[in-house]
Amino acid sequence: MKKLLPLFCALAFISQSSFAAEISALQALAQAEFKVLSEDLGSAFSYKPVTPAEPLGITGFDIGLVVTGTDMEKSSQAWSTATGGDTISTLIIPKLHVAKGLPLNLDIAAFYSKIPTTNISLFGAELRYAILEGGITMPAVAIRGAMTKLSGVTQLALDTKSLDISISKGFAMFTPYAGLGQVWVNSTPNVGAVLTEESFTQRKLFAGGNLNLGLINMALEADKTGEAKSYSVKLGFRF
């Protein structure tokens, strides 16, 4: 895992090196541009579970490296203005993600991210409860509450909160899953009276699959939060 972390970060760095930039010129945006950028960033930064609904169990862990790419076409020009850099089509976010099973069908999880070529750091956490833990014939159903928070950007404070419900059913080593929910985004510019806070909600839909090969665990997930689509891949261990 320690050897994979530099690789994932290097891939993210290579993917984004052409638009290396820091969010440092929000004052150059109009309010409408700031809202569009906040919507795409809210989608990109919101919690992505990349995991089935079934609980891990009291001894279970899920540890992985996640890379998420989010479509930023709608706010591409606003990103360029806010960073003084090039336009952007996809924002790549690498994350270290850790989940732990608890008693009573509860799971907790958290992630940390430092996005290469930018001044963006991000962290988040979730608490999930499996209403149905699933079995040979029954699917698992879980509800989740999650939050994320941006750090490292002096001019912008952005956080998200989300609630979702998901369902999954295992078939041997493969477990497909899907879910829906709601995301609440608060985006506050720190540039004086030039811009004002944007607070809004976004609908969330996601689906994916988890493949556990014993020594290695892989997961893929597609997500649509608001109007922006995201795709995530996770590589790690789940036991």
Number of domains comprising the chain: 1
Cα 62 from Cα 237, distance rounded (Å): 6
Residue type, 187: S
Residue-wise DSSP of 53-100: SS---TT-EEEEEEEEEEE-GGGHHHHHHHHTS---SEEEEEEEEEEE
Lowest-confidence segment of 19-23, 86-90, 198-202 by average pLDDT:
19-23
The stretch 37-51 carries a mean pLDDT of 98
Lowest-confidence segment of 38-42, 43-47, 86-90, 164-168 by average pLDDT:
86-90
Q: What percent of the chain has pLDDT over 70?
A: 92
Indicate which CATH number applies to the domain containing 194: 2.40.160.20
Q: Could you list the residue range(s) of the whole structural domain that residue 67 is in? A: 4-238
> Is the pLDDT score of 1 beyond 50?
no
Amino acid 19: pLDDT: 53
Q: Dig out the tokens for 23 from the structure.
A: 């969010």
Q: What is the pLDDT of residues 92-138, one digit of tens each?
A: 999 999 999 999 999 999 999 999 889 999 999 999 999 999 988 99
The pTM score is 0.90
Q: Dig out the tokens for 112 from the structure.
A: 């940390």
Query: Three-class SS of residue 16?
Result: helix
Amino acid 161: pLDDT: 98
Cα 183 from Cα 82, distance rounded (Å): 24
